[in-house]
Structure formats: structure tokens, C-alpha cells
């Protein structure tokens, strides 16, 4: 079943297109693949990027916050980089280009998600404390990109490289993965001083 991808805000897409057309932005990017790409470069697969916050072992309700839109930058043969935008007071603005293992991992996770029988809205969910990024398959395909916390039917697919002990490209229900994350983010037990 095809994913129900969101349309990125026009200013987000336009800022990426403008940056791709800027020799300075491309030259200063730390992306050798982007700088050496021959042929036209096009932004595709816009995904809203959320950050998971307030994950604590003491309970409480975690929340998500929309922090940007990420686009894969495709060359003639493959994705060579990604470009990200960030919210500003005036809307969306180009933030940076980058490359690395998350590009191929994102493409693989999206292909796997397209084969699922249930329709989902694709998003990215970051857990900065664990240096972890997941493909968030949101069950409410009509939801606004800025809204929502992963629901019981949502799936999170950790992208590679995933933290030790968490399998990349294995879909987890949100509650299942939240339990693992909560345990991982718990502070270590205090050592008692000898009496």
C-alpha cells in the first residue's frame, strides 16, 4: 500500500531548491557526494522531522516537536545527500545539507513501509539523547505534519546505524520501543559509599 506522504510547505521546498542553485551553499556543504554530483539534483521525499522529548523513567507523557523538513537530494542515479529546513519567524528556511548512512537507510525503510498492508503517513522521529533516528509510520494519514504523538497503532522503524541492542529496520509499536528508550535513558543507579 502506498504511503500517504505529506506535501512540504512551499517555502521549505523553495529554500532547498534555492540552496541547490547556490554554488556557495553546495560548495560549503560537508557533502562530497553533493559537490561532485554530475547532472541535475532534485529534492524529493519530503519528511517532517520531529524530536521526541520528555522520555523519562519517572513516567510523564512524552511529546514530539516538529523541528524541520528533510528532503532526499537525488542525482541522476541515486540519492547523494539530504537537505533540511528549519522553522523561522518568517516560515521555513534552508538549514543544511548532509550525507551519511541515514540516506540509504531512509530509502530502505520507506521501501519496506510501502509493502505494508496498512496505510501510514511517513515522518522522521529523532531521539537525540540516543543519537537515534526512526522512520515514524503515523496511522492518521490525514494528520497535520506538526501534530501528534505516536499512537498505539503507529510504527517506529529505527534507521541504521541504530543504538546497540536496537535492531535497525525492524518495525516496533510505539509503546514497545518507548519502554526500551525509557530504560536506556534512565540514569545509572547511584553507587553507595562504603561505610
- Model confidence over 164-185: pLDDT tens digits? 889 999 999 988 888 887 766 6
Give every CB contact of residue 52 below 8 A, 6+ residues apart in sequence: 62, 63, 64, 125, 126, 127, 181
Q: What is the pTM of this model?
A: 0.89
Query: Quick check: 140 and 115 in contact, CB under 8 A?
Result: no
Average pLDDT for 26-48: 88
Is the pLDDT score of 63 beyond 90? no
Q: Check residue 189 and give its pLDDT.
A: 60
Q: Check residue 35 and give its pLDDT.
A: 84
Amino acid at each position: 500500500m502506498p504511503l500517504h506522504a505529506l506535501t512540504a510547505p512551499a517555502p521549505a521546498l523553495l529554500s532547498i531548491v534555492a540552496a541547490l542553485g547556490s554554488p556557495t551553499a553546495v560548495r560549503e556543504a560537508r557533502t562530497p557526494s553533493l559537490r561532485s554530483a554530475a547532472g541535475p539534483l532534485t529534492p524529493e521525499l519530503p519528511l517532517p522531522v520531529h524530536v521526541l522529548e520528555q522520555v523519562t523513567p519517572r513516567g510523564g507523557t512524552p511529546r514530539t516537536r516538529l523541528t524541520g523538513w528533510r528532503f532526499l537530494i537525488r542525482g541522476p542515479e541515486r540519492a547523494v545527500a539530504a537537505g533540511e529546513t528549519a522553522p523561522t519567524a518568517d516560515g521555513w528556511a534552508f538549514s543544511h545539507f548532509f550525507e551519511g548512512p541515514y540516506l540509504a537507510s531512509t530509502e530502505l525503510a520507506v521501501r519496506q513501509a510501502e509493502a505494508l498492508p496498512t496505510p501510514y503517513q511517513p515522518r522522521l522521529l529523532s531521539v537525540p539523547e540516543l543519537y537515534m533516528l526512526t522512520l515514524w509510520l503515523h496511522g492518521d494519514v490525514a494528520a497535520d505534519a506538526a501534530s501528534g504523538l505516536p499512537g498505539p497503532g503507529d510504527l517506529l522503524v529505527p534507521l541504521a546505524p541504530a543504538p546497540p541492542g536496537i535492531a535497525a529496520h525492524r518495525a516496533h509499536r510505539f509503546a514497545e520501543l518507548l519502554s526500551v528508550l525509557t530504560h536506556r535513558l534512565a540514569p545509572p543507579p547511584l553507587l553507595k559509599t562504603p561505610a
